[in-house]
Structure 1
Amino acid sequence: MIMVKKARDTEDFLHHIYIHMNEADQFVMFSGLTMHQFVKSLGPFNHLLLLKHKYEDSSYNMHTQLEFVPDEEVLSFTKEFMDNPSDLRWIDFKDERKLNMLTSQEQAELLYIGHKKEPIRSPFYYQLQNRFVYLSNEEESMTKIYFRELNDSLHLVVNILNQVVRDKEKGAPFWRRKQKEGYPELTMEQFISHKPLLKEGVLLSLYKIEKSKVSYDLEIRLLPESVYPDEIWDELTAVMKQSPDETIRF
């Protein structure tokens, strides 16, 4: 008797995230990413200079006349928007004394970034020593992030997916958890080998394999040209009918 492999439904997957990397300009477009995930996965963070926001408990910098979030308040700041996402645009910085040394030209460039969601030149400033520029739109359906070290974007995705796995395994029956010494884990080495695909725009989908030894598949699908990144979630069922272009098992 020939067994027909059952097609996976959209709801069978544990997590989806879209990523499109622009290596030349050092930014990555994400869909399905929240700021809380971003900060939790790549923290701890320095202070955040707010370029656009609706946060009421921020501090104020007289030199730039911009509000900021001190490093010790970053986590509480991100939790504020977990259930009520909004337009958030910020750039991190190490030291307020150095922030006060920004020139008028540099301040104007920051205002431009906050308004246009793109820099006039490199968005990484000596005085700020910033690692990121974070630019999200309402409901965070699309988030554009500039990375000083582009591989931080890969660490971000790996950390998020491994956290999903840990949360899933922690919810497993007690008898099975007791037998496990650790959780399956996606490695950077596995993920970075697929970096060229990320430059095309891909949907990453995480699926749990139930066998004698629990493992996970990360399915990678090149996004069809007919589907725009901010429309992925409306078209998800159609997208998932495609066979994955690559699969990472771990």
Structure 2
Amino acid sequence: MRCGNEVIDLAKKMRAADDFLHHLYVHMNEINQFVIFSGLTFHEFVSSIGPLQNILLLKNEYEDGSFNMHTQLEFVEERSIRKFTKKATDSKAELCWIDFSDEKRLNLLTPQEQAELLYIGHKKEPIRSPFYHQLQNKFVYLANEDEKMSKIYFRDLQDVEQLLANLFNAIIQDKERSTTFWRRKVKESIPSFTPDMLSNFREDIKDGIIFSMYKIEKPNLAYVLELRNISDFPFPDEIWGELNTILKKKAEKIIEVH
């Protein structure tokens, strides 16, 4: 692992946006316990965060879901999350939800708490902390129609580093599987990032950064993650039109795994 301002020799060549495997914008608000992402889809979130509990839909209609009479809202049971993820990804509809442990707990929500949930779905922000004892929820997920930006509340912000590690490692595994198929050579080990490596970036993420990942083949196989501060972009969706310009800036930090 290498982390710092040094530039890897093989990375000195200027890379265009398409030369990277993935770009991800991340901006953390530690006080209010939410993270803004751009470049993260709902499917990627579900795949990277681990098993989800049941989810209560604050804004989204799902004809195959269940209906809770107490809240008058639809919900998706844990066993149907995979099916719902595909449906939601295909529909490109606005998506707002909060997870919960079981339906009995939904029925304990007070009128005030139900009103707060409706407010979250409408305004994309909570009146107070969006973590409810009755629901035992870990997340509140708020995304616009095209998924260009998502705002996700985390009960435990350490889950952010786990999500990032799982996301980047899944991309690496897909890349290596496709390489192995064509070359018919099975690698003894596949490089991977750990949450501890990514926790070194916690302070940087508070300012708003973009992660860019690429692969090195020679002299040894490695995957490199570059970090660039883009706090001067107040709106995350603006960065994608300026990505090649952003990438001309030297990376503030670099981490490499073999």
Per the TM superposition, whether the score is higher than 0.5 is yes
Corresponding residue for residue 196 of structure 1:
203
Unaligned runs of 5+ in 1: none
The one of 126, 134, 138 equivalent to 1:131 is: 138
Q: How do 1:139-158 residues align onto structure 2 when only pairs under 5 Å count?
A: 139-158=146-165
Q: Deviations over 1:22-55 (max 9, x none)?
A: 0000000000111111111112111110000132
Matched pairs, number? 248
> Does 2:93 correspond to 1:86?
yes
Unaligned runs of 5+ in 2: 1-9
Identity %: 54
Q: Deviations over 1:197-218 (max 9, x none)?
A: 0000000000101213200110
> Does 2:76 correspond to 1:59?
no
| Higher mean C-alpha deviation, range 104-113 or range 36-45 | 36-45
Consecutive aligned runs of 4 or more in structure 1 exceeding 4 Å deviation: 173-177
- Residue 150 of structure 1, CA deviation: 0.6
Corresponding residue for residue 212 of structure 1:
219
Give the partner amino acid of 2:89. M
RMSD: 1.8
Q: Deviations over 1:167-215 (max 9, x none)?
A: 0011114586635211100111211112110000000000101213200
**Contact between 1:169 and 1:177, CA under 8 Å: does it hold in 2?**
no
> Does 2:184 correspond to 1:161?
no
The one of 7, 25, 28 equivalent to 2:32 is: 25
The one of 61, 64, 69 equivalent to 2:76 is: 69
Distance 2:124 2:24 in 1: 21
Give the partner amino acid of 1:207. Y
Corresponding residue for residue 35 of structure 1:
42
Give the partner amino acid of 2:169. N
- Residue 223 of structure 1, CA deviation: 0.7
Per the normalisation by structure 1, the TM-score is 0.94
SS at match of 1:83: helix
SS at match of 1:178: coil
Q: Indicate how the Cα distance of structure 1 residues 177 and 215 shifts in structure 2: closer, same or farther if over 3 A, else same.
A: farther
- Residue 12 of structure 1, CA deviation: 0.7
Distance 1:229 1:5 in 2: 27
Give the partner amino acid of 2:202. K
| Higher mean C-alpha deviation, range 64-73 or range 82-91 | 82-91
Corresponding residue for residue 102 of structure 1:
109
- Residue 72 of structure 1, CA deviation: 0.7
- Residue 83 of structure 1, CA deviation: 3.4
- Residue 98 of structure 1, CA deviation: 1.1
Q: Which has the higher contact order (CA 8 A, sep 6+)?
A: 2
**Contact between 1:202 and 1:221, CA under 8 Å: does it hold in 2?**
yes
Distance 1:144 1:58 in 2: 23
The one of 241, 245, 254 equivalent to 1:234 is: 241
**Contact between 1:203 and 1:223, CA under 8 Å: does it hold in 2?**
yes
Corresponding residue for residue 222 of structure 1:
229
SS at match of 2:46: helix
SS at match of 2:175: helix
Give the partner amino acid of 2:68. N
> Does 2:10 correspond to 1:9?
no
**Contact between 2:164 and 2:198, CA under 8 Å: does it hold in 1?**
no
